[in-house]
Structure 1
Amino acid sequence: MSKDKNAKIKAPQPVRGTQDMLGDFADRFGHVVDAFDRVRRLYGFKRVEVPVIEPTAVFARSLGETTDVVSKEMYSFEDRGGESITLRPEFTAGIARAYITNGWQQFAPLKVATHGPLFRYERPQKGRYRQFHQLDAEIIGSDSPLADAELLIFADQLLKELGVAEGVTLTLNTLGDADSREAWRAALVEHFMGHRASLSEDSLERLDKNPLRILDSKDAQDRPVADSAPDIDAYLTSEAQDFFGAVTAGLDAAGVAWERNARLVRGLDYYRHTAFEFVTDRLGAQGTVLGGGRYDGLIETLGGPPTPAVGWAAGIERLAMLLDDDAIDNRLDAVLAVEDDGQLARAMRTLADLRAAGFAAEIVATGSPRKRFDKAAKIPAHALVSVGTRDGAAHINVRGDGERAKEVETIVRGVDND
């Protein structure tokens, strides 16, 4: 059966849970990334790049075989050589793998930052996509509580630079050192075992594999049991108490506000000491905009030497959604309307000089000369520059107010006087 050559081809649709960006949101996205790059330089964090694909074992070991990310959400497949590879669901494991395989131990303590796309198969929701993007900052090779404090101060400054700190709260907890955590874990298991009949099916499964996760269960059935569970404070060693005290003292000295959340946990055994989240109620139920913690045992889990480390990640889309409507000035610095084709060369020279001086500029030089000014006037800009002829001589007029328009006029008049 032959195909109808006149049949309309159906346009392909995007993969569910992905997004295209153009215009305002793309500008918001870029604004977040630009602010992150600016602030991370202030704190001495080097840019690092790691592959989008990694051996599946990198994430299975680091995130835990029993976690939802590994068991339900990772995009894993066999390549043509038969190796199981995975699209990265987070940055930390790949950076830890790179730290081991590239011998970056020589640079410890290593402060690195990156941003880019990540992939998880989950139910798309507000600010959450199957291909999403994160900012990431890590300090590897430092066991000092000052490293934890510096990362939190970095994050706090970033949120303030973006203008989204209002209504965002830093919540903080300690998971203690290895001895503290083990004693607390044993007490939690005893508590939950005594209330097995009251736990949800998911939490019964967690009880055998990852009991700390029961503490942050969202199932209403679990909340009475979780809320009555013992806090870690009774099991903290003096060393762990001192560590947490040094972190909070650093935050207080830097003027970073924080609140204690004794129920904030990280389920995997390699997490130690500080755990934190910056949370807001402006994004619905999923209110975390930035989170992280100390993971002193991760690199050892991946086959490297015992290495202390701490880091955080933040969703770029979520931060972009929090930006105020007037956070970004999308206007060009100047738009040039060429009202006389005989002045095109002069206009092009003016355009080149503006751009060389760091001014964002466009030119309208096509279509009817009489309509170019009106067309240019519709383009948002600080200054509207008309280039034409008056009384047989070249004439340039600059319209606009504000400091940026005055700077544009200075460049334009300089060209006009050449």
Structure 2
Amino acid sequence: MAENFQKLTAIRGMNDLLPADSARWERLERLARDWLRSYGYRNIRTPVLEFTRLFTRGIGEVTDIVEKEMYSFTDSLNGDLLAMRPEFTAGTVRAAIEHNLLYDRPQRLFSMGPVFRHERPQRGRYRQFHQISVEAMGFAGPDVDAELIVMLARLWQILGLTDIRLELNSLGASEERAAHRDALIAYLEGFKDQLDEDGKRRMYTNPLRVLDTKNPALQEMANGAPRLLDFLGAESLAHFEGVKQRLDDAGIAYTINPRLVRGLDYYNLTVFEWVTDRLGAQGTVCGGGRYDGLIGLLGGKPAPAVGFAIGMERLLDLWSQGDAAEAEPECDVYVVHQGDAAARRAQRIGEQLRDAGLDVIVHAGSASFKSQMKRADGSGAEIAVILGDDELAAGEASVKTLRSQADGSPGTQRRVALDALADTLIQSFDSDVD
């Protein structure tokens, strides 16, 4: 009797990344690493699992991430309460403290990989998603805040993105936020009857988040609320002016959004988001700001810090709407062969071409010449190397270009001596680059 078998699928909101898509991811990752290296940022890789208290202390117990979205569980082996990282910053700060990274100099660090939040999956919002997270630790001035924003503008330029805009705000210092918080609570108490249960609770625990409402009926209330910018002291205002001046110097346009607060408790002073209208409801592509108190909060010697995170799925979605994200070929050269002797020699030729620095697929198994050539064309290779009895007897291979030439003329085919094959192909690719 056959067993009842339920088809196995991926967890909703945790998506497979198939080869046709992963090529675009790899290209974006390469571009991002080169871009980050050009500003002196180095890679740090922290564990997916951390103690839950790292995030409750660092992100804030009354944030949506901790209250509703974090995957947290008890380790069945020892009873530890663990969490799958919902973001990178807290783990990066923990690692910097644990390994004394800030002992002798500031650090420019980046991470790239998956993070996890238990959200309702929709376009641009998944339960497992990916971030590029950038942290500049040990830098206090507005120059580094502005540099992060300027470097993001460079990334958009590299990717050919134009329909993306910058929103900017300052959250000031803790005492300024406390004074604003008291005024805001007093203001919100006059609208208790209009708030939902979540808003009423947040009014006393995290009133800034009440202003981040998406409810159209509450927009007038939010617009009339006391502005944090009006509570900033001279030092905070000077920092904010310094950021704006440097952005003006760089020619980067921005909008001051006094309701921009970000969703994590650790931010102070500068906060910013890069947003677009081309991704529907999930329009924030990148967000960040300064978090000067987090290192001390997590047990380290207090030090200033600022950073940002990019949602890679959203960035790829935006990028793929243009012409910049063309599919990459599987290889440079595809080797086609007919007959046992040619198949054996093809394997050796493949290794020789790889030694010369080329990416090569040697056709596996037996198939007709027509079928192999179809597969060669589908691989995206620039060149097919063809081996058969005639070629082997002459000590040669046929070299066929599979793509049209720059002038639009069709590809060509010629015979090349086997002992000159690698050099000939390298010269061919070099001339294409030129």
1:168–1:280 contact (8 Å) kept in structure 2: yes
Map 1:124-273; keep pairs closer than 5 Å: 124-163=121-160, 165-266=161-262, 270-273=266-269
Closer, same or farther in 2 for the Cα pair 1:377/1:308, shift >3 Å?
closer
Q: Does residue 360 in structure 1 map to residue 359 in structure 2?
A: yes
Alpha-carbon distance between aligned partners in 2 of 1:413 and 1:145, rounded to the nearest angstrom: 61
Which residue number in structure 2 is paired with residue 381 of structure 1? 381
Closer, same or farther in 2 for the Cα pair 1:269/1:415, shift >3 Å?
closer
Alpha-carbon distance between aligned partners in 2 of 1:101 and 1:377, rounded to the nearest angstrom: 52
Q: Does residue 83 in structure 1 map to residue 80 in structure 2?
A: yes
Q: 1:311 deviation in Å?
A: 0.9
Alpha-carbon distance between aligned partners in 1 of 2:347 and 2:284, rounded to the nearest angstrom: 49
Which residue number in structure 1 is paired with residue 317 of structure 2? 321
Cα shift readout 1:352-388 (whole Å, capped 9, x = no counterpart): 3433333322122532454433443343222233233
Alpha-carbon distance between aligned partners in 2 of 1:203 and 1:244, rounded to the nearest angstrom: 29
Which residue number in structure 2 is paired with residue 415 of structure 1? 421
Alpha-carbon distance between aligned partners in 1 of 2:422 and 2:319, rounded to the nearest angstrom: 40
Alpha-carbon distance between aligned partners in 1 of 2:9 and 2:213, rounded to the nearest angstrom: 36
Which residue number in structure 2 is paired with residue 108 of structure 1? 105
Closer, same or farther in 2 for the Cα pair 1:374/1:140, shift >3 Å?
closer
Q: Which piece of structure 1 moves more, 377-386 or 257-266?
A: 377-386
Alpha-carbon distance between aligned partners in 1 of 2:375 and 2:282, rounded to the nearest angstrom: 44
1:212–1:267 contact (8 Å) kept in structure 2: no
Map 1:46-57; keep pairs closer than 5 Å: 46-57=42-53
Closer, same or farther in 2 for the Cα pair 1:33/1:230, shift >3 Å?
same
Closer, same or farther in 2 for the Cα pair 1:103/1:410, shift >3 Å?
farther
Alpha-carbon distance between aligned partners in 1 of 2:286 and 2:38, rounded to the nearest angstrom: 19
- TM-score, normalised on structure 2? 0.86
Alpha-carbon distance between aligned partners in 2 of 1:306 and 1:53, rounded to the nearest angstrom: 25
1:18–1:129 contact (8 Å) kept in structure 2: yes
Closer, same or farther in 2 for the Cα pair 1:220/1:343, shift >3 Å?
same
- TM-score, normalised on structure 1? 0.89
Q: Which amino acid aligns with 2:284?
A: T
Alpha-carbon distance between aligned partners in 1 of 2:328 and 2:10, rounded to the nearest angstrom: 27
Closer, same or farther in 2 for the Cα pair 1:334/1:255, shift >3 Å?
farther
Alpha-carbon distance between aligned partners in 1 of 2:383 and 2:298, rounded to the nearest angstrom: 57
Aligned length: 411
Alpha-carbon distance between aligned partners in 2 of 1:24 and 1:412, rounded to the nearest angstrom: 33
Closer, same or farther in 2 for the Cα pair 1:373/1:183, shift >3 Å?
same
2:188–2:203 contact (8 Å) kept in structure 1: yes
Q: Does residue 95 in structure 1 map to residue 92 in structure 2?
A: yes
Alpha-carbon distance between aligned partners in 2 of 1:415 and 1:369, rounded to the nearest angstrom: 24
Which residue number in structure 2 is paired with residue 301 of structure 1? 297
Closer, same or farther in 2 for the Cα pair 1:349/1:92, shift >3 Å?
same
Closer, same or farther in 2 for the Cα pair 1:108/1:189, shift >3 Å?
farther
Cα shift readout 1:254-296 (whole Å, capped 9, x = no counterpart): 3333222121114665421111111111111111111111111
Map 1:273-312; keep pairs closer than 5 Å: 273-312=269-308
- Listed as ranges, the gaps of 5+ residues in structure 1 are none
